[in-house]
Each structure stands twice: as C-alpha cells, then as structure tokens.
C-alpha cells in the first residue's frame, strides 16, 4: 500500500502524522509529497493539497481529507474539473473527538445566554448591581442548523437539558426529541421565534451568508447566535446591525471569514460578541489517525467505508 501524505507544509504536523502512520501501518510505504513528485500512490492523505499533488496521480484509489470540513477540497475540485477521475473515492474524517467538544461549546453558550450571564458581564464593567428575572425554559427555543454527525450530537444533548430544540438540514432527518425541518421551504418555520441559533452547517455556495438579516429578523428578540460552522456562513455587517438595534442580544463566534481575525475588525469592539480562535472543536490526533487507519484497511479489504464526500452537495 503506497501512501502519499501532505498536511499543508507544516513540518511539525507532517512529522507527527508520518511517525504515527508509520507505526500503525508498518507494511505500508509512506512518503511526504514534495513539489515535482508524480510517482504512483494508492491513497492520498491530505489537508489543503495543491493541485499538483492530485493531478494525473497514477494508481490513485482514494483521497482521505484529514479534517471534517471539506470546503477547501470541494472548492479545489470545482475550480479544476477533471482533476480526479470519477472512480477515485473522496473521504473525510468523521467526528474524531470533535463531537464532544462541539457539544461542550454549544451547551456552555446556550446556558450562559439562558442564565443572562452576558448581561451580568456588561453590568460588571459598569459596576452595576442588578438582578434580572429568570427566563422560562419552556419558551427558550434553540435551533441547530446542520444535522450531520456533529450537529445531531449538539441538538440531542441540548434537548436533554430540557430546552425545546429544532433542527434544520438540507435533507429530511428524524431525530428523537428534535423537531426537524428540511430544505429552503421549511427554513422560515425553523427560524421563527428561536432564542438561540447554533450553526454547524457545511459551507457550500448555497449556505454562504445564510446567517443574515432575514435570519435574524425571524428570531425572537433578543436572540443569540452561536457560529461554529464556518466564517463565510455569516453576513458580518448584518449581525453587527442586528446587535446594535437589539434584535440580537449577542453572539459567540468561533469562526471568521479571515483567520486570525484582524486586530482592526469591528467585532473586537462589540462587547456583546464573544470571540474564540477556532477552538470549538479541534481534531484529536490519536482519534483522527485511528479513523484514517480503519478507513485504509477497509478500503484495502473491499469493505464499506463511511465518510464519503458528495461533490454534488459539497460535503
């Protein structure tokens, strides 16, 4: 089994992955891709690969993307039609320890907004001692956009805390305890009256800027946004305007159009926006590597493999 490895040119990560795969796949021949390498490979294990790595690669059976979000790869293939033969399988990581972290991040911010801690933080800055009445749990609806492996976990765990939870996805889903909506035709019903919106959608041309003025207008004011999908899902100016006019009470943003977030970006100056540096869920290396090894062995044995990327959908 010939493996071609590339993780964006990061020497430290390259060495870590190379050592790990060498240890777990002792019978495989593993090499790190370098410019000019056009030799055959059975499988490419990649993150943000250049076009040259994939073009006309002899013997290639599958590409395994070393992340759960695949918008970079999907965009690369859209911009370079025919780059890979149709019989080359495209696979991605699934969860790899990220589900638990996403649940923790989402639950923390849902509870923090529900208990009005964001308001007490603002009071502290003004040295004000002010008690507020508690919210009613039954009327505090939480919506989760994106019901894949990660979104399903987030929605289910929030529902288990007693919150009424809705879910929205491109295709129909059935999840116990969750009111599921699907497609553009049901997006309005999903959004109407939400207090908190959690976004975990994959980024596609159809979902870019989906978190916009129309979305915020349908929520019950003051709503709250938790974006742990991708930065390009959010129309940034629409969010700032919605916060300033009171339709949205605040936001927890972990992903941005430009990362790191520029120091002069207007989000830094808005105290009702909680900013984290893309850490809501980080791939756990051991779990990710174990998953890739499992996929490779299944492919070699002709067994079914999960985590296929559907290029028609872009994820």
Superfamily of domain 99-275: NAD(P)-binding Rossmann-like Domain (3.40.50.720)
Q: How many residues appear in the chain?
A: 315
pLDDT for 226 equals 98
pLDDT for 313 equals 85
- Where the chain has pLDDT below 50, the residues are none
CATH for 2-96+283-301 is: 3.40.50.720
**Residue 280: CB atoms within 10 Å:** 24
Domain ranges of the chain: 2-96+283-301, 99-275
C-alpha of 70 from chain center: 9
Per-residue model confidence as pLDDT tens digits over 189-208: 999 999 999 999 999 999 99
Domain 99-275 in the same topology as domain 2-96+283-301 = yes
Distance separating alpha carbons of residues 312 and 210, to the nearest angstrom? 19
pLDDT for 152 equals 96
Query: What's the predicted TM-score (pTM) here?
Result: 0.89
Distance separating alpha carbons of residues 299 and 280, to the nearest angstrom? 31
Q: Tokens 């994820």 identify what position?
A: 315
Distance separating alpha carbons of residues 147 and 169, to the nearest angstrom? 6
Instruction: Give catalytic residue positions.
Output: 230, 278
Per-residue model confidence as pLDDT tens digits over 10-21: 899 999 999 999
């Amino acid at each position: 089994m010939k493996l071609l490895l590339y993780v964006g040119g990061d020497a430290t990560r390259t060495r870590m992955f190379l050592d790990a795969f060498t240890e777990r796949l002792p019978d495989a021949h593993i090499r790190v891709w370098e410019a000019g390498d056009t030799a055959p490979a059975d499988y490419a294990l990649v993150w943000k690969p250049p076009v040259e790595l994939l073009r006309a690669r002899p013997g290639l059976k599958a590409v395994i993307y070393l992340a759960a979000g695949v918008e970079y790869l999907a965009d690369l293939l859209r911009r370079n039609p025919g780059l890979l033969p149709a019989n080359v399988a495209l696979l991605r990581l699934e969860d790899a320890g990220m589900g638990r972290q996403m649940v923790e991040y989402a639950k923390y911010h849902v509870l923090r907004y529900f208990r009005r801690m964001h308001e007490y933080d603002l009071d502290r800055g003004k040295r004000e001692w002010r008690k507020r009445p508690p919210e009613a749990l039954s009327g505090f609806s939480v919506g989760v956009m994106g019901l894949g492996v990660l979104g399903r976990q987030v929605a289910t765990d929030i529902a288990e805390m007693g919150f009424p939870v809705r879910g929205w996805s491109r295709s129909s889903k059935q999840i116990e305890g969750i009111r599921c909506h699907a497609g553009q035709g049901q997006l309005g019903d999903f959004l109407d009256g939400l207090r908190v919106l959690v976004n975990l959608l994959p980024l596609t041309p159809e979902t870019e800027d989906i978190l916009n003025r129309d979305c915020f207008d349908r929520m019950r004011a003051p709503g709250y946004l938790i974006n742990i999908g991708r930065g390009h899902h959010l129309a940034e100016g629409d969010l700032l305007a919605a916060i300033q006019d009171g339709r949205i009470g605040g936001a927890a943003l972990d992903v941005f159009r430009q990362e790191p977030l520029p120091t002069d970006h207007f989000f830094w100056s808005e105290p009702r926006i909680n900013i984290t540096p893309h850490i809501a869920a980080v791939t756990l290396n051991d779990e990710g590597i174990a998953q890739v090894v499992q996929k490779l062995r299944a492919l070699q044995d002709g067994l079914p493999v999960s985590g296929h990327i559907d290029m028609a959908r872009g994820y």
